[in-house]
Each structure stands twice: as structure tokens, then as C-alpha cells.
Amino acid sequence: MKCKLCSSENIKLIYNGKIRNGGLGQYTNRNVAMYQCLDCSVIWHEEILENLSQYYESKDYRQSLEGDSDEEGFYRRHDKETLDKFLYTGTTIFRRKTVADIGCGCGAFLDFLKGVASSVIAVEPSETYRRIMDNKGFTTYPYTSAALPDWAGRIDVATSFDVIEHVADPLAFMGDIHKLLAQGGTAIIGTPTETPVMRQALGEIYERKLLFSTQHLWIFSEKSLWQTAKKAGFEKIEVTYYQRYGLGNLLGWLRDKEPNCEIGEGFITPTLDAVWKSQCGEQGLADYIVVYLTK
């Protein structure tokens, strides 16, 4: 076996058991083997649907992951993530620029950008969500490759959050984004990490109940993201870690051995929580990684 990203044969089987299959509390009926490349550190599994594109275009994906695929449900779940995305991107980068968001869902993030960007391109495989975006007046495409005939070399800023871990070919995914960007354009791509601090504290419980998922085909490291971006043609590459979940989340996991069991407010002060998140990010132990790429 070779690593699908860097072609190394230095591969290790790190887990073989049931993993999450969709939303929290849903698991596979059989064991799934998880592999890690000991050279680039990427983690993956082989449980890839043959009709992966069709799956993402249908309602089944969102139904399995989030319980529904309706517009208002999407906003309830994802509007609050917009502030996090602006934490990763800042705001000034978008003004009077041509912007593309890859994997935009119903456009919770793009709704806030359309007032300042000169043009907004929405890339989303879900046919249901594309119809919603069309009704909002956005220019929509199912995949970046489909947008290339119209927009290659014309996008100033491309964003993509929580998408690259789902695609069958991350190198092709980054390569299409590179082609989409104008010279000097910026891509900002975010994805969950292997969350070292949680794995050290909880081990297999955390891996089985949250981290390893049939719908996350990849779990990237800084090195594997950097190597993929380099192969895709990017020269300037920067990486930053962000801790999205607070100290109360870790303590709740330790207490109940389950997700969504966060220790309540009042026990942990905002200052303590901010220090915890900051230290996780600075030490590279955080649960989210963002790569900043310039063409």
C-alpha cells in the first residue's frame, strides 16, 4: 500500500473498528481500517462510495450528517460558524474583490460577503442548496472544475471550509482552486485536524465516537496539507491552528466519555477558556487547521 497523497510506502494501520457513520451516535455495522502515512502524517480510510459525486449532490449526504437538508435547518446549524470563518479570514480581504466559496451549502457565509465583494461565486454539489443559492441571486456551480471555463484566473479570494476532507482527490481539489485564482490571488482552506490533545486524553473513545468518520475520507496534518498545496502549484504557504471547542468540552468528554457533554457555564471563566484555546493553537494541538495559499 502507498500513501495516496505522497506515495510513501511507510504506512501504518492505526485503527480497525467501528467508526462514526453520519451524525453523532451513528456508527458503521462493521470494522473500518484507518491508515496513517508515517512520512506526511495524513490519515485515511478506504470506505469510499463509488458514486461519491452523486451522493454529495443528493439529499442523502446532509440527511445522514445533519438530520435534514432544509434551508432553515442549515442556517440554525451554520450561521454561528460565520464568526469563526471571519476569524480565519479577516474582513478587509473581501472588499471589492471577486470571491468564490467552495462547498458553500446554503450560503450562510456568502450572505455576509455579498454586500462588500464585487462578485460572489458559489460552488456547492448539493442540487437542493444550489437552487436556494440561485434564488438568492448567486452565480452557482456544482464543482470548482465546472466554474473554470467561466472563472479561471479571475478569482481574487477563494475560501473553502470543512470540504477538503470529504473529496476523493485532494490534490485535484487544490489544483482546481489554483487554476481558479488570479495571479496573486489567495485561497484559505480549513479542515479538522486529528486533534492531538483529545486523542491523548481519550484515545480510542474519541476516535470511534467522533474523529474517524465514513464521510471524512482524510484527516490532514500540517505537513500533508503543505505538500498537497505545493504539488498543486502554490508557492507561498502558511498554516495556522485554531481551537474551536473550549476547555469545558474536553472536561465533559473526560467525565461522560461522550460528545456534546460540555461542562456548563460558570465553571470555566472566559479568560481560562481563551488561554486554553490559545495554547492549543500555539502548540499545534488544536482541533482545526487553516492553510493560507497565494498564487
> In the 8-state DSSP scheme, what is residue 191?
E
The pLDDT score that the predictor gives to residue 65 is 55
State the Cα–Cα distance between residues 191 and 162, nearest whole angstrom.
5
Answer yes or no: are the C-beta atoms of 274 and 247 closer than 8 Å.
Answer: no
- CB contact set of 82 (below 8 Å; sequence gap of 6+): 108, 109, 112
pLDDT means over runs of 10, the chain (295 residues): 92 94 87 95 83 58 56 76 91 96 91 92 91 91 96 98 94 97 97 91 93 93 95 96 94 92 83 94 95 98
Give the global pTM: 0.91
State the Cα–Cα distance between residues 160 and 166, nearest whole angstrom.
12
Residue 126, class by beta-carbon neighbours within 10 Å (0-12 exposed, 13-18 middle, 19+ buried)? buried
The pLDDT score that the predictor gives to residue 110 is 92
The pLDDT score that the predictor gives to residue 50 is 61
Helix and strand totals (H; E) in the chain: 13, 11
The pLDDT score that the predictor gives to residue 49 is 63
Q: How many CA atoms lie within 13 A of 253 on its CB side?
A: 20
The pLDDT score that the predictor gives to residue 51 is 65
SS3 175: helix
Interstrand relation of 155-161 and 181-192 (parallel, antiparallel or unpaired): parallel
